[in-house]
Amino acid sequence: MFRKSNVVVFIFIIFLFTGMYYFESTNELLGKWEGKSTTGEVIKIEFFEDGNTDLYKGQSGIVNGKTTPAVFWPKYKLNTLDASLALDFEYYNSKNGKLDRKVMCIVEFINESTIKIALPNKLEVRPTNFESSSVREVWKLQKVIDGDNFLPRRKDF
């Protein structure tokens, strides 16, 4: 029969391994990624340790004679406790700091240098898999190792 102390140790071990997996996945996500969406748009994103991102998607206009991507700065949250890795992009109002919208995605780590992110058709509805009818588009991204000129920084705008 289990003693109370054995049950506490067992629960602690489960939380320890779950936490290790969470931090390992979060660390794998950090850094610069680039690729294309299934709609053909170029995607560049950098995940920072503080939960912020720099996200460049498609084309939005011309600055200084150069075509530029649409620029976004959502915060991200990665939840590795679900069977599928839940990745949320949260967009906040720059004037009042309130959450405007949350894009509930799933992410798959194909290997250490490739990920897929499925974006939903509807806000607040997470896709269940990458082929689901609830998926608007999928981004297939490669890790950028040497990305000195990868993206302009937020302060450059």
Copy the structure tokens of residue 74. Answer: 């959502």
Given this model, what pLDDT does residue 32 score?
93
* 10 CB neighbour count, 10 Å cutoff: 10
| 35, 24 contact by CB (below 8 A) | no
Q: Evaluate if pTM is beyond 0.75.
A: no
Q: Are 51 and 77 in contact (CB under 8 A)?
A: yes
The 3 state secondary structure assigned to 27-50 is HHHCEEEEEEECCCCEEEEEECCC
- Percent of all residues in the chain with a pLDDT value above 70, rounded to a whole number: 66
pLDDT in tens, 34-88: 999 999 989 999 999 999 999 988 876 566 666 666 778 899 998 875 556 899 9
What does CATH list as the number for 4-147?
2.40.128
For the stretch 107-116, pLDDT in tens is: 999 998 999 9
**Measured distance CA(118)–CA(106) in Å, rounded:** 5
